[in-house]
Amino acid sequence: MTVLALVLVLAVLAFSWSIGAHYTGACMGMPYGSGSIGLWPALVTMAILAFFGAFLASHRVEMTVGMHLIDGAKVTLWGAVTIIVAAFILTTIYTAVKIPTSTIQILVFAVSGMAVGAGIPVHWGTIGGLAIVWVLAPPVATGLGYLFTRGLDHMVAPQPAPSALAASSRKNEVFSEAKRLSAVAVLSRVLVVIGAAASFTMGANDVSNATGVLVMTHLYNVWIAGMIGGVGLLVGVLTWGKPLLRKVAFDVVQVDLSMASAAQLVQAIVVFSAVSFGFFTSMNQALVGAMAGAGLARGRSTIQWSSIWNIVKGWLVGPPSGFVLAFLMAKLVGIWTPL
């Protein structure tokens, strides 16, 4: 392995480490925020499942990133390093300031920015198809989040905020205390399982953000690339996952078990459905859409619209910043060596 290839592998590991930390809240924020699982059990569970998702189920998305976004045959190791470094810098910055941006969108536009800067053909049709998935995922998740929350309310009474206790006391009397406690216990366990499924889905969906360039440059096949990225995800979750574990769960919606279960399940369904067709979409966008739908099932007052707007702003700055930074880096690197 050449020195530059080794640098690329290390950059991939660093980026996957950042991705693992970045999506901790999106995967296990609901189980942790609802009290269904403790901090470290949540982190360890997510780390293990994310690794296996990356290793076993990321192959179709790896091919999308590695072969279908740009003309990969013309990408050199320098070009691949440029993509990863640009995406890693931006993802790490957004993680540090606790803005859950779309790493996928940053990566896709970093790839296209590098390609434009280096004069490599871009497959805009593929990117357009991904954009359609990105646009459709949040509203679909919102609708499903609303429906699933209303359905789960038949299993367990909503847990109202203190200010709403008096107004909701008559409704809660319909449920016997024994039945309610039993349903809560079952739903808490189900929520942990759903969070684990979301963690597996994240590994399958997001590892290619880091490892797609290994396939693009033909350094490794999809199995080895997935394993390398899975290791990075695992370490990222365990070493830097705590800050964002709280972000989505506590800052966006005042959750109860029905809302948390519905939101997490919808997120896993929407994202894994995209992955199964070789597409990939934002874990954060799917979760926020699902949480918005769950909040609507409770009434608009449960949704923290200011927090959602901050996340939307992150989506708006992520793709352009990925394109611009990778484009400028490609131009700068191209002064000394061909991309």
Q: What is the pLDDT of residue 93?
A: 87
Better pLDDT: 239 or 29? 239
Q: For residues 42-69, give the mean pLDDT.
A: 95
Judge contact between 233 and 209, C-beta under 8 A: no
**Three-class DSSP labels, the chain:** CCHHHHHHHHHHHHHHHHHHHHCHHHHHHHHHHCCCCCHHHHHHHHHHHHHHHHHHHCHHHHHHHHHHCECHHHCCHHHHHHHHHHHHHHHHHHHHCCCCCCHHHHHHHHHHHHHHHHCCCECHHHHHHHHHHHHHHHHHHHHHHHHHHHHHCCCCCCCCCHHHHHHHHHHHCCCCHHHHHHHHHHHHHHHHHHHHHHHHHHHHHHCHHHHHHHHHCCCCCHHHHHHHHHHHHHHHHHHHCHHHHHHHHHHCECCCHHHHHHHHHHHHHHHHHHHHCCCCCCHHHHHHHHHHHHHHHHCHHHECHHHHHHHHHHHHHHHHHHHHHHHHHHHHHHHHCCC
pLDDT digits (tens, 9 = 90+) for 263-310: 889 999 999 999 988 898 888 788 888 888 888 887 766 666 666 676
Neighbours of 233 (CB within 10 A): 33
Q: Which residues does 255 contact at the CB level (< 8 Å), separation at least 6? A: 30, 33, 34, 249, 263, 291, 294
Quote the number of domains for the chain.
1
221 is a domain residue:
yes
339 is a domain residue:
no
Judge contact between 138 and 286, C-beta under 8 A: yes
Using the predicted structure, report yes or no on whether residue 132 has a pLDDT greater than 80.
Answer: yes
pLDDT digits (tens, 9 = 90+) for 76-99: 999 999 999 999 899 888 877 777
Average pLDDT, the chain: 85
In this prediction, what percent of the chain has a pLDDT beyond 70?
A: 83
The conformational region for residue 299 under phi > 0 = left, psi -120 to 50 = alpha, else beta, is left
Q: What is the pLDDT of residue 170?
A: 55
Q: What is the pLDDT of residue 73?
A: 82
338 is a domain residue:
no
Q: pTM of the prediction?
A: 0.84
Q: What is the pLDDT of residue 157?
A: 57
Q: For residues 133-138, give the mean pLDDT.
A: 89
Q: For residues 23-45, give the mean pLDDT.
A: 88
Using the predicted structure, report yes or no on whether residue 200 has a pLDDT greater than 70.
Answer: yes
Q: What is the pLDDT of residue 273?
A: 93
The conformational region for residue 148 under phi > 0 = left, psi -120 to 50 = alpha, else beta, is alpha
Q: Domain span at residue 235? A: 3-159+169-331
Phi, psi of 304 (to 5 degrees): -85, 90
337 is a domain residue:
no
> Residue 40, class by beta-carbon neighbours within 10 Å (0-12 exposed, 13-18 middle, 19+ buried)?
exposed
Q: Give the pair of three-digit tokens for residue 304.
A: 């923290």
List Cα–Cα distances, 211 to 11, 199, 217, in angstroms: 10, 18, 10
289 is a domain residue:
yes
Q: What is the pLDDT of residue 253?
A: 46
| CA–CA gap between residue 296 and residue 33 (Å, rounded) | 19
Q: What is the pLDDT of residue 22?
A: 81
Q: Give the pair of three-digit tokens for residue 50.
A: 């994310």
pLDDT digits (tens, 9 = 90+) for 150-193: 888 776 654 554 555 455 555 555 546 666 677 778 888 999 99
202 is a domain residue:
yes
Tokens 């349903």 found at: 183
241 is a domain residue:
yes
Helix pair angle (103-118, 124-152), 10° resolution: 180
pLDDT digits (tens, 9 = 90+) for 210-252: 999 999 999 999 999 999 999 999 999 999 888 778 765 556 5
Q: Which residues does 314 contact at the CB level (< 8 Å), separation at least 6? A: 94, 99, 100, 101, 102
100 is a domain residue:
yes
